[in-house]
Structure 1
């Protein structure tokens, strides 16, 4: 959940990334760091433990990530450690990702289908949505067999529901209305 604190740190990282043309690199490295930390629960517990002093946490981060992370990004993580904000790492990442997407005019979209979409289908959906929304699109395909067929597209605060499940629900409502009209109750 976004807060003033997490947005402030995300904004600072965004500014450094813009100044040095490293936004994409920061985003990729941040995601990788989150994945690595989440993969090992004990590693996450170690980094968030109040018993481990800041210098030890920095040493651990350096040993694990120094060869794969940009020095500006590592310095950002060291600041989080010094300020006792490492527990907000994931929330700051979510705010940072949102800010980068806004900066680059990217819209993440979730496409729900009854079966996994093939790459060429995803490309066609992306092309159509790019034309309609006039933004760069990042598509995530989620499978939900309960929609029976068709697609549901979640684009920001818009939902385009072309699923067979929703069409059946609308048909049921229409059929009930027809029955009421037939007996003169409408």
Structure 2
């Protein structure tokens, strides 16, 4: 089964995946992209640089180069992100990261589940969730966990085209809606 990634982010991710495969550094590139994703999530300034169209490509390239150097990211990953900045496509990085992860997971025979939780999962909960999803799919599952305190509690799991929303926020909204109908 071939994983299909589409759109601009998919084309960039496919090109990077093919380069990484050719160089035999798919795992290293995946680790670098995870680090860059974490850097973006941790820094409001970096998020602004990635999302804002007001910066010129030269400004984006210079700033991204400095961040990558400071983080110790080099090689194919650094060259790729600099190319994306030069082409004024930094806004597409989250989609590129997701598409690349899907390609890597498909190569490994895994399925990627996007999980949103209110607070970070401890190792035991992470393993339990991973095992439960593996039993459901019959495949090895890798988790892409995002922490979003606004869901209040519970979790939201998206696996392929299926989504299970067991968040406290959704349950409270359902109760609120039901109470409005009773009046």
For 1:88 and 1:119, the matched residues in 2 are separated by: 31
Stretches of structure 2 that go unaligned for 5 or more consecutive residues are: 165-183
In structure 2, the residue matched to 1:32 is 35
d(CA) in 1 for partners of 2:40, 2:129? 34
Q: Aligned-pair distance for 1:121?
A: 6.6
Q: Name the CA shift for 1:119/1:21 in 2 (closer, same or farther; >3 Å).
A: same
CA RMSD of aligned residues (A): 4.1
- Does the residue aligned with 1:137 lie in a helix, a strand or coil? strand
- Please name the residue that 2:46 is paired with: 43
Say whether residues 1:85 and 2:89 are aligned partners. Answer: yes
Secondary structure of the residue that 2:142 maps to in structure 1?
Answer: strand
How far 1:96 sits from its partner (Å)? 1.3
Q: Which residue number corresponds to residue 12 of structure 1? A: 15
Pairs aligned (count): 159
* CA distance in 1: counterparts of 2:82 and 2:94, whole angstroms: 15
TM-score norm. by structure 2 comes to 0.62
Unaligned runs of 5+ in 1: 161-186
Decide which structure has the larger Cα Rg and report it.
1
Q: Contact 1:112/1:141 (CA < 8 Å) preserved in 2?
A: yes
Q: Is the 8 A contact 2:110 2:140 kept in 1?
A: yes
**Could you give the per-residue CA deviations for residues 12-58 of structure 1, whole angstroms, max 9, x where no partner exists?**
0111111122222222221221222233223332354434342x322
TM-score (norm 1): 0.61
